[in-house]
Amino acid sequence: MAAVNALQPTDRLRRSFVYRILQANGAVFEEINGGAVAMRFGASTESEVAKARRLGLADLSPLPRTGFKGVGTVDWLTAQGLTIGPDSNRAYRQSGGELAARLAPTEVLLLDSLSGDGALIERLNGAWGWSTETPRKPIGYPMPRADSHCWFAVTGEQAPAMFAKICGVDLRPNKFPEGAIAQTSVARINGIVIRQATALPSYYLLADSASAEYLWHGVMDAMLEFDGGPVGLAAVRELSSGV
């Protein structure tokens, strides 16, 4: 059980779509950028990292993310200092650890680094605006993703085997390289799967926020036979730091 004075998600305006499930699982929350993030689930950090190495599901939903879309989007983001390659369905790592996931030739999803400070996203939101020149220069438009999509991380050696039960795309490391993106059906709902650049297979999973609790339960159910379970952001950070 969490300590009496511990931070609860309801203490903050920004909270996860699955915070009730996280609370029921004994999550310990910490504040990041105004939101309560599940950092650990009571166990020692070592045992939670060990679980994350086998098979873990973490909720990153309170962390900052956004998107930009439309003709001129990639040119504008490049002018803002981002590095975005030519291929769609690839995630490009930025200097601050953020991921620019190119979902289509004219659409980019931006995920903050695991520190969650949101600096790059804040800067881009501040910089974006229609110019006054006519005809208007196409620079795309913002596509906020913080409320539309939940953001989970699925980590560990057994993750590809678990995904094989709920997703038609082959996510094994030899077929699905680091930075690869699959926009596909996951547990029968539409999801975005992004392979993180980590030594162990580790994936970000984003899906409709209204289905977040369903997806959490669905993935957790698929994880049971591999002895997987919920892990906190601390364990995900630990795995990612070994890049």
| Contacting positions for other proteins (CB under 8 A) | 88-89, 103-104, 168-169, 182-185, 190-192
Q: Which is nearer to other proteins, 103 or 231 (CB)?
A: 103
CB of 178 to other proteins, least distance (A): 17
CB of 226 to other proteins, least distance (A): 23
Q: Which is nearer to other proteins, 67 or 232 (CB)?
A: 67
Structure token digits, residue 201: 């297979």
CB of 107 to other proteins, least distance (A): 9
Rounded CA gap, 77 and 83, in Å?
8
Helix (H) or strand (E) holding 183, with range, is strand 181-186
Helix (H, G, I), strand (E, B) or coil at 39: strand
Give φ, ψ of 234 to 5 degrees. Answer: -60, -45
Q: Determine the distance from the C-alpha atom of residue 24 to the mean position of all C-alpha atoms in its chain, rounded to a whole number.
A: 22
CB of 242 to other proteins, least distance (A): 30
Rounded CA gap, 205 and 186, in Å?
9
